[in-house]
Copies of this chain bind each other. A is one copy, B any other.
Amino acid sequence: MSKVVTLGEILARFSTTAGTRISHIDHMQVVYGGGEANVAISLANFGHEVSFASKVPDNALGEAVKRHLKSHNVSTEFLLQGGPRLGTYYMEAGVGERGASVFFDRAGSSFAVMNDIEWNLSELFKDVDIFHVSGIVSAVSVAWRDMAVELVKAAKAAGCIVSFDVNYRGKMWSQAECGAVIQKILPYVDYCSAGHMDALYLLGIPEAPSDVANELVYYYEKMHQIFPNIKLFYATKRDVVSASHNRLTGAIWHQKDGLVMSKTHEINPIIDRVGGGDAFSGGVLHGILSGWILQESIDFGTAASALKHTVHGDTNLFSEREVSDFLAAGSGAIQR
């Protein structure tokens, strides 16, 4: 098993149950999550030794975050406590043709107002096999744009594999702003979760010619030409039939083995799709860290993501054995 550190912001999500609206209800569900925290929990579920680095306030919500992580076997040694508040967001669950509706209230959070790297980086990365972070961290503030670069450099210098999820969010910053930052980050990255939209709009790679055999291969190869240090790209293709029914296929590309696709999962009904991408990343990384072949890794990662869609919350709640059993079982029979 590997030693893992992930770092990012973790938020409280307040949400409705399906069929109700925030303006009409007297209670809300609350869960805690964030891209890097979700990947941390996935990898801990699969047996790795994982620590999540972030900063949360010294109040009951910060305490709730700590309990959440600990209960999923993630170390909180590098979870700083202090600062003004926990970022939150609000979600009305989607139903059928009506998509989920989300708005954020994350400005001024304990993580967002950090101006300096408050961790001792030699401690943070000591004996760490892999460091995972996403583009959202850099979107949080101007200060974080620099700190994110500094972190991946330090991780690389400390001998970690660096895993990066582009995770572009248009509401947080422009494509230009994001592109500028990830240009600085990608030279230190080993594994990268990115799709063809990222190649086109963030990295300015020209659109694939119409006669290209496989578009995704084209974009991954182009990105690999620019950043030859990136050995591995992966992404999901999500076919949105409705907010309650998606089809999900995973893709992985390795510099040696080229592109491999998973089977397609029919996810119907969807209980909660938030964190589905993080469960995918966690599953793929687990396969890679375990030395599995690409097909095994992408099947496992996509299955982990499909399973995540069947439970409430941002968090993949399944062990390696459960994901594997799910892959083997095919579809939906009672296990008794």
Contact = CB atoms under 8 A, between A and B. Distances in A.
Interface stretch (A95-103, A115-123, A198-206): A95-103
Interface in A44-91: 59-61, 63-64, 66-68, 70-73, 84-86, 88, 90
A43 to B, nearest CB: 16
A147 B332 CA distance: 36
Contacts of A102: 334-336
Contact of A26 (B31, B72, B105): B31
Contacts of A95: 269, 271, 310-311
Contacts of A334: 94, 99-100, 102, 243, 273-274
Contacts of A68: 71
Nearest to A101: B335
A311 B20 contact: yes
Nearest to A95: B310
A60 B21 contact: yes
Contacts of A21: 60, 311, 317
A169 interface: yes
A226 interface: no
B273 A244 contact: no
Contacts of A190: none
Given A27-B30, A70-B71, A244-B268, A22 B64 contact: yes
A335 B60 CA distance: 14
Contacts of A272: 19
Contacts of A94: 332, 334
A28 interface: yes
Contacts of A1: none
B240 A332 contact: yes
B332 A97 contact: yes
A24 interface: yes
A307 B98 contact: yes
B242 A331 contact: yes
A256 interface: no
A18 interface: yes
A159 interface: no
15 contacts: A22-B63, A25-B30, A70-B73, A96-B268, A97-B267, A97-B330, A98-B307, A99-B333, A101-B335, A169-B336, A242-B266, A242-B268, A243-B334, A244-B269, A274-B334
Interface of A: 14, 18-31, 59-61, 63-64, 66-68, 70-73, 84-86, 88, 90, 92, 94-105, 107-108, 169, 171, 240-245, 265-274, 306-307, 309-312, 317, 326, 329-336
